[in-house]
Amino acid sequence: MSFEIAQRFFFEAAHTLDRTVTEEAEGSRRIHGHTYQAEVAVVGEPDAVTGMVVDLAHLRAAIAVVRDALDHRLLDEVPGLGAATLENLCRFIARAMGSVSPPVCRVKVSREASGDSCTFHPPPPS
């Protein structure tokens, strides 16, 4: 029996996005910001001694590093992110959480105000 443990965090960030074929292209090209909600999940069996899949303090510490890289930043300038899409944010967060054990099985990034979200399931480590 496995358990999925998740931790949610928020960050505020600005970005631009070069969209060519859309009614929102002009506004997207200007610097604009969002409140993002992200959720990181791990899956596994509880440890026989601690009863935990992961110590949430360790998960929160790893998230704090990722959050610091994104919060109140111009996402266009975040090294390794690429275009500030929901997809790239999910992938960036998953890569940045690479030291967490058990490994991240799901990352979800949402913008509640606009109703947008993306869920990424990283491949298991080899």
Distance between CA atoms of 36 and 4, rounded to whole angstroms? 22
Q: What would the pLDDT profile of 64-119 be if each residue is shown by its tens digit?
A: 999 999 999 999 999 999 999 999 999 999 999 988 999 999 999 999 998 999 99
> What local confidence, expressed as pLDDT, does residue 82 receive?
95
- Residues in Cβ contact with 8 at an 8 Å cutoff, skipping those fewer than 6 apart: 37, 38, 39
Q: Which pTM does this prediction carry? A: 0.90
Distance between CA atoms of 126 and 73, rounded to whole angstroms? 33
Checking if the pLDDT of 125 tops 90, the result is no
Q: What would the pLDDT profile of 26-64 be if each residue is shown by its tens digit?
A: 556 678 889 999 999 999 999 999 999 999 999 999 999
Q: Which helix (H) or strand (E) holds 69?
A: helix 56-70
Q: What would the pLDDT profile of 6-35 be if each residue is shown by its tens digit?
A: 999 999 999 988 766 666 655 566 788 899
Name all domains of the chain by residue range, CATH numbers in brackets: 3-120 (3.30.479.10)
**8 Å CB contact between 72 and 13:** yes
